[in-house]
């Protein structure tokens, strides 16, 4: 299934569009996202609109997740930042918009996830890792900014952000979720601990633990394949969730219809959490699905569809944003993540300019 031969830093700096340029570093071989200022303390977040946070965590068993080596997964926050260094500015020609004339973005580095959790995944260590992400997200939200967490597994790249959104919003919180799988089983399969919002259970735990979130404000997009429990999906539908399968998206609804359905997440809510599980692209994006190992399914969403939805979420305004399951090893896929963040932030910029949704 193998990840691509991703270039080392020296090769990248010689052969990419970043060659010959200087940019802030948050760690060795890790430039800040889009060469934006590095925030080292919560005080450095003052005035920010968007705060980039890395969450290099993977729920690995025997050194692999879904059959892919752990190292390829947890490199995503670093590699996404590296690919962002290719771009010398925030000028988006699609909108004739220079993003950083309107949006202050800072890079808050990676959450202080205990390194031992990668080889010793006890519930206590997982909860420590989750709390580390929550801490950085809380700092961003208290500064009035949208945290964007580049993660790879739950709970650090999903539930941690949902929980922080829930705790920082006085009212109901909606959710826009893109995924191949519902992740809605009652119990984490890795630990069997009811406290853990794991890879297969984080969405269930979101609604179990967070009182101001309800499936009636969930817009769930992209699921497919024959892996799900029919009773789980039918319960979400009964509770009011709007489910848009890849089949519906492609067989009549289309991207414009899908965009209109997003409004359900904002209907009667005071905040919205957007979560993109990038196995949703599974082969329809710029890299073959095989790099995802066991996570790939047919009828995937395209890079344009995912980027467009992120932009529309930004135009409506949001509380927090997160990624997991970024397909490992492909420079082109990491560039898709850069575009998702930039086009979401462009939506926030248009909103500032009075050109948001509605």
140 and 108 Cβ atoms separated by less than 8 Å: yes
Rounded distance between C-alpha atoms, residue 181 and residue 154, angstroms: 13
Partner residues linked to 350 by β-bridges: none
Query: What pLDDT, on a 0 to 100 scale, did the predictor assign at position 223?
Result: 98
Q: Which two tokens stand for residue 311?
A: 């932009």
Instruction: Name the one residue in this structure whose structure tokens are 């996830």.
Output: 113
Is the CA virtual torsion 213, 216, 218, 220 positive or negative? positive
Query: Which pLDDT belongs to residue 60?
Result: 83
Q: Is the peptide bond before 334 cis (omega within 30 degrees of 0)?
A: no
Determine the pLDDT at residue 139: 98
- The C-alpha atoms of residue 346 and residue 89 are separated, in whole angstroms, by 13
Alpha-carbon distance 111 to 154, whole Å? 14
Provide the pLDDT for residue 144.
Answer: 98
Amino acid 63: pLDDT: 87
Q: Would you give the distance in Å from CA 10 to the centre of its chain? A: 28
Instruction: Tell me the CA distances in angstroms from 11 to 7, 14, 19, 74, 78, one per residue in order.
Output: 6, 5, 10, 20, 15
Span 31-64, pLDDT tens digits:
999 999 999 999 999 999 999 999 999 998 788 8
What pLDDT does residue 346 have? Answer: 98
Q: Is 104 helix (H, G, I), strand (E, B) or coil?
A: coil
Weakly modelled stretches of the chain, pLDDT under 50: 1-2
Q: pTM to 2 decimals? A: 0.97
Euclidean distance between CA atoms 56 and 151, whole angstroms: 6
The span from the CA of 228 to the CA of 230, in Å, is 6
pLDDT value at position 42? 98
CB 327 within 8 A of CB 291: yes
CA distance 179 to 280: 5
The dihedral over CA atoms of 31, 34, 40, 41, expressed in degrees to the nearest 10, equals -160
- The structure tokens listed for 134 are 């929550």
Domain 47-352: CATH architecture, name and number where available: 3-Layer(aba) Sandwich (3.40)
Q: Where are the alpha helices (DSSP H) in the chain?
A: 9-15, 70-74, 76-84, 123-142, 159-168, 202-209, 230-238, 246-248, 254-261, 303-316, 331-352
Q: Please give the pLDDT value at position 1.
A: 38
Q: Which two tokens stand for residue 206?
A: 């979101």
Both tokens assigned to 53: 């946070």
pLDDT at 276: 98
């Amino acid at each position: 299934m193998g990840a691509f031969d991703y270039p080392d830093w020296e090769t990248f700096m010689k052969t990419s569009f970043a060659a010959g340029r200087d940019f802030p570093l948050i760690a060795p071989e890790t430039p800040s996202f889009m060469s934006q200022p590095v925030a080292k303390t919560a005080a450095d977040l003052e005035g920010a609109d968007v705060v980039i946070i890395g969450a290099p965590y993977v729920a690995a068993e025997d050194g692999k997740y879904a059959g892919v080596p752990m190292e390829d997964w947890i490199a995503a926050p670093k590699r996404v930042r590296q690919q962002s260094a290719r771009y010398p500015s925030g000028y988006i020609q699609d909108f004739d918009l220079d993003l950083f004339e309107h949006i202050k973005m800072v890079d808050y580095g990676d959450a202080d996830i205990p390194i031992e959790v990668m080889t010793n995944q006890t519930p206590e260590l997982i909860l420590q890792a989750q709390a580390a992400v929550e801490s950085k997200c809380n700092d961003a939200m208290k500064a009035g900014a949208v945290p964007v967490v580049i993660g790879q597994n739950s709970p650090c790249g999903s539930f941690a952000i949902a929980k922080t959104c829930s705790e920082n919003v006085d009212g109901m919180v909606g959710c826009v979720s893109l995924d191949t799988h519902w992740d809605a089983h009652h119990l984490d399969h890795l630990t069997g601990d009811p406290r853990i919002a794991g890879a297969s259970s984080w969405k269930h735990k979101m609604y179990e633990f967070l009182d101001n979130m309800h499936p009636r404000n969930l817009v769930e997009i992209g699921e497919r394949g024959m892996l799900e429990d029919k009773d789980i999906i039918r319960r979400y539908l009964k509770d009011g969730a709007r489910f848009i399968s890849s089949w519906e998206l492609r067989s009549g609804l289309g991207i414009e219809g899908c965009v209109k359905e997003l409004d359900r997440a904002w209907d009667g809510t005071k905040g919205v959490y957007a979560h993109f599980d990038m196995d949703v692209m599974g082969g329809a994006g710029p890299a073959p699905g095989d790099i995802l190992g066991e996570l790939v399914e047919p009828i995937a969403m395209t890079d344009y569809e995912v980027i467009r939805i992120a932009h529309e979420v930004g135009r409506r305004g949001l509380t927090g944003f997160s990624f997991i399951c970024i397909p490992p090893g492909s420079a082109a896929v990491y560039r898709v993540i850069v575009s998702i963040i930039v086009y979401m932030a462009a939506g926030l910029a248009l909103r500032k300019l009075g050109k948001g949704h509605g």
